[in-house]
Amino acid sequence: MKKLLLTGFVPFQDHPVNPTEPIVKHLDGKRIGGLQIFGRVLPVDFSESADVCLGHLEEIEPDIVLSLGLAAGRTKITPERVAINCKDGGPDNRGVFVRDEPIVPDGPAAYFSTLPIRRMVDRLNEKGYPAQISNTAGTYLCNHIMYSVLHKIKSENRPVLGGFVHLPASHELAVRQPSLPSWSQADLERAVVLMIEVLAEQEIAS
């Protein structure tokens, strides 16, 4: 059976809840559309997150890596098109700030997602879940993970698809941060399952 590594993150900065964490924990061990799901929660830490994620990739040897992160303030599900070789931002959960640094010194400027992001967006919209391709994953930990995973896949020539999707806040987060637009946790999870179903169809077709 084909394997999908599904990653999310712990809470960070002023967000006491990260909706990606319960989704990843809840879907861990499930089978969706013929894919076995391995859910793993990552730290928000410039010095550790990529190593932890790449360690899961080594150990699980998935066919697909789908990484999730919170983009508080976005209103839609947003599959990311591209990850850039830059880290700039903070603090992370250790209080570290970074400025204008490459993720991989001398690495390529950017990697495109290798997930079928247009089909994922179309499926979500057809099913009534607002979605749009995003052309920036930022320069914080989410971009860092997306770039690091795609760099490893490409530089080791692994037959693995990889990419990243940002989710809006959940209602649980928005009641604590009232200015945030939000979705129900159940709808966020249903949207993730719909995207995994698209990925499963792609794997079966390939």
- Where on the chain is the footprint of ligand PCA (CB under 6 A)? 9, 12, 18, 20, 44, 69-71, 138, 140-142
From 56, 144, 166, 189, the catalytic residue: 166
DSSP 93: T
Q: Which is nearer to ligand PCA, 23 or 71 (CB)?
A: 71
Q: Which is nearer to ligand PCA, 138 or 163 (CB)?
A: 138
From 80, 144, 151, 189, the catalytic residue: 80
d(CA 194, CA 93) in angstroms, rounded, equals 31
Contact 26, 36 (CB under 8 A): no
From 21, 53, 86, 142, the catalytic residue: 142
Q: Which is nearer to ligand PCA, 35 or 170 (CB)?
A: 170
Nearest to 153 by CA among 84, 47, 45, 63: 63
d(CA 169, CA 165) in angstroms, rounded, equals 13
Q: Which is nearer to ligand PCA, 9 or 147 (CB)?
A: 9
Contact 136, 83 (CB under 8 A): no
Q: Is 142 a catalytic residue?
A: yes
Q: What are phi and psi of 45, to 5 degrees?
A: -155, 115
CA 101 from chain centre, in angstroms, equals 21
Q: Is 166 a catalytic residue?
A: yes
d(CA 89, CA 8) in angstroms, rounded, equals 19
Catalytic residues: 80, 142, 166
